[in-house]
Amino acid sequence: MRSKNFTYENSGVSIKKADNFIKFISSRTKKSKKSGEFKNIGGFGALTKLPSKLKNPYLVTSTDGVGTKIEVANQLNKFDTIGIDLVAMCVNDLIVQGAKPLLFLDYISVERINPKKLKNIVKGIIKGCKIAGCELVGGETAEMPGTYSKGKFDIAGFSLGIVEKDKILINKIKENDLVLAVPSSGLHSNGFSLVRHIIKKKKIDLKKNSFLKKELLKPTKIYVTYILDLINKKYLNACANITGGGLEDNIKRIIPNNLCAEINLDRVRALKIFKWLKNKGISEKEMLKTFNCGVGFCLIISANNYKNINKFFPNQYKPYIIGKIIKKSKKVKLSGKISW
């Protein structure tokens, strides 16, 4: 006998909620010059025009997530900034190559669709795209009962950028160049498993700790407009997004053979959240390996361009010198100690 209870809805997947969510996203995004006459949200694929007047363009791609920062968002029931983080983690990687972000797609997987939660996440994604100057052109929302426990979710992003060949930031670093630190907004989206471990072991009530509530969900800073302005002015030789692995692991990814970024940690301006973490018993080595420690982005420039750099940044994010490029086989040399 055939059962009337065997439906997709009864298995835990709501097509109606998914369709309504797509309509919501579509209502929040509009046709632009990039998509031309087409409305991308809700289709099988997204159509995007390539910018005109480019002589030798290269496409640059990046994909990333926000790690276990989503668990903090769940714990605090606050989801309006996590989408900004998602965009930031992708587009900040694109600009390291000199690329201008063009489009963004997201992937959201959930145990069950919670319209209010998802709408807040997507509002953040749209806001992040606006800050980065790119377009949200589509994505996927997957309702996956049995894969995630109640209320759990994950998000991932994909971004596409474009750059003229002569503006690609590769092989432009020279001896005696300066290494500048651009301040972070906080933790960004790295090291949250360690942060959560400390909170658990120290038995900290996150909901009652006003300092942590404010700090932990600060959105990752998006550096796109500043970096693109510097590239257009030809002030920038290279740059690095300081994510997981900290200063050393990320800077060494862009340093050519036989050159070294000599970094003086005495000059690094640690933010309050990193001082708080250090005081909870994390070693200096572990801090430097896990967190950005207050340096969200690094610039490598010719010394004679230093005076031209600061005017492109607001006061909170003005770059400052933390090192220089020397001749040496080891790609990064750390000296000194951060003042915690």
User: What are the extents of the domains in the chain?
Assistant: 16-167, 178-186+221-335
> What's this model's pTM, rounded to 2 decimal places?
0.89
- pLDDT tens series, the chain, 340 aa: 455 676 556 556 555 665 565 566 566 666 444 555 556 666 677 777 888 888 999 999 999 999 999 999 999 999 999 999 999 999 999 999 999 999 999 999 998 889 899 999 999 999 999 999 999 998 888 888 888 889 899 999 999 999 999 999 988 999 999 999 999 999 999 999 999 999 999 999 999 999 999 999 999 999 999 999 999 999 999 999 999 999 999 999 999 999 999 999 999 999 999 999 999 999 999 999 999 999 999 999 999 999 999 999 999 999 999 999 999 999 999 999 999 9
Q: Do domains 16-167 and 178-186+221-335 have the same CATH topology?
A: no
pLDDT for res 32: 46
Residue 176 pairs in a beta bridge with none
Of the options 3.90.340.10, 2.30.29.30, 2.60.40.10, 3.30.1330.10, the CATH number for the domain spanning 16-167:
3.30.1330.10
- Asked if 317 and 189 touch (Cβ cutoff 8 Å), the reply is no
Question: Is residue 301 within 8 Å of residue 180, measured between CB atoms?
Answer: yes
Shortest CA distance to 171 belongs to which of 255, 253, 234?
Answer: 255
For residue 325, the model assigns a pLDDT of 98
CATH class of the 178-186+221-335 domain in this structure: alpha beta
For 10, 60, 68, the CA distances from 188, given in Å and listed in that order, are: 39, 22, 12
Distance CA 114, CA 108 (A): 12
- Candidates 113, 182, 105, 104; CA nearest to 150 is 113
